[in-house]
Amino acid sequence: MIHARVIKVKNPEEMGKVAADLFEALIQTKPACVLGLATGSSPLPLYRELVERCKAGKIDFSRVRSANLDEYKGLSGDHPQSYRYFMQENLFNHVNIKPENTIVPNGQTEDVAAMCQAYEKQIEEWGGVDLQLLGIGHDGHIGFNEPTDHFPAMTHEVELEEITRQANKRFFNSIDEVPTAAYTMGIGTVMAARKVVLVATGADKKEILYKTLCGPVTPQVPASILQFHPDVTIICDEAAYPL
């Protein structure tokens, strides 16, 4: 059983506010902090809140550095479904973060091993991730670490599960356009973060949250490794609340 803090909120908007409070507190105490960021639907209310607070002068991103969890293999940063594009549209273009202080794995790299190593090195040179934001997939993936027989340590290439491609096809014209592979931080990269905040909303996340919190720690449910992380906060709405 996990020793994480589990915060139940009424709806996604409240989740965004509660998560934004954690970001705001960190950025105030450590203006040059390193954020690990996620894409997908779950973080959107949080990003809206961060944009508002930045515009209101409450949060200053001028010294913040950020490293995203993952990127689709093959997509360029200006492809509307790439995660770089998502971050620009939903956060970076609307806050005063410096472009050179934001990194997302390069989906079009020609040298996968070198790109993955450089990604880890950059995070290390920045001093490691202070706060890692996570969503959770229906199969328990975090980042794009899909269920498998081990916990991958570092940033690496992964084949996407059919369930994940199906879940993400809502953003593409058809399933055929959804990439079959991606680059993702490893479970080791995620576990090295000083603090982890996982956001989840909707009844469809309830069962996997239960397995994450209360099930055995197994690479078949990658998020279950969070039971071994010393500082995890899970923020979920009533529909997703598993306990």
Residues assigned a catalytic role: 70, 139, 141, 146
Q: Residue 12, interface with ligand F6R (CB under 6 A)?
A: no
The three-state secondary structure class of 93 is helix
Q: Residue 34, interface with ligand F6R (CB under 6 A)?
A: no
Q: Residue 186, interface with ligand F6R (CB under 6 A)?
A: no
Q: Residue 82, interface with ligand F6R (CB under 6 A)?
A: no
- Return the number of other C-beta atoms located less than 10 Å from residue 33's C-beta: 20
Residue that has been written with the tokens 């959107």 in this structure: 44
Q: Residue 42, interface with ligand F6R (CB under 6 A)?
A: yes
> Nearest CA to 159 among 183, 140, 185?
183
Please report, in angstroms and rounded to a whole number, the separation of the first and last CA atoms in the chain: 11
Considering beta carbons, is residue 27 or 185 the nearer one to ligand F6R? Answer: 185
Among 40, 45, 107, 179, binds ligand F6R (CB under 6 A): 40
Considering beta carbons, is residue 135 or 242 the nearer one to ligand F6R? Answer: 135
Among 69, 191, 209, 226, binds ligand F6R (CB under 6 A): 69
Among 53, 141, 211, 229, binds ligand F6R (CB under 6 A): 141
Q: Residue 148, interface with ligand F6R (CB under 6 A)?
A: no
Question: Dihedrals φ, ψ of 237, to 5°?
Answer: -85, 175
Q: Residue 104, interface with ligand F6R (CB under 6 A)?
A: no
Q: Residue 73, interface with ligand F6R (CB under 6 A)?
A: no
Question: Dihedrals φ, ψ of 67, to 5°?
Answer: -130, 120
Per DSSP, the residues of 106-139 read: -TT-S-HHHHHHHHHHHHHHTT--SEEEE---TT
3-class secondary structure per residue, 137-205: CCCCCECCECCCCCCCCCCEEEECCHHHHHHHHHHCCCHHHCCCEEEECCHHHHHCCCEEEEEECCHHH
Size of the site for ligand F6R (CB under 6 A): 14
Q: How far is the CB of 146 from ligand F6R (least distance, A)?
A: 9
Given the rule CB under 6 A, which residues bind ligand F6R?
Answer: 38-42, 69-70, 135-137, 141-144
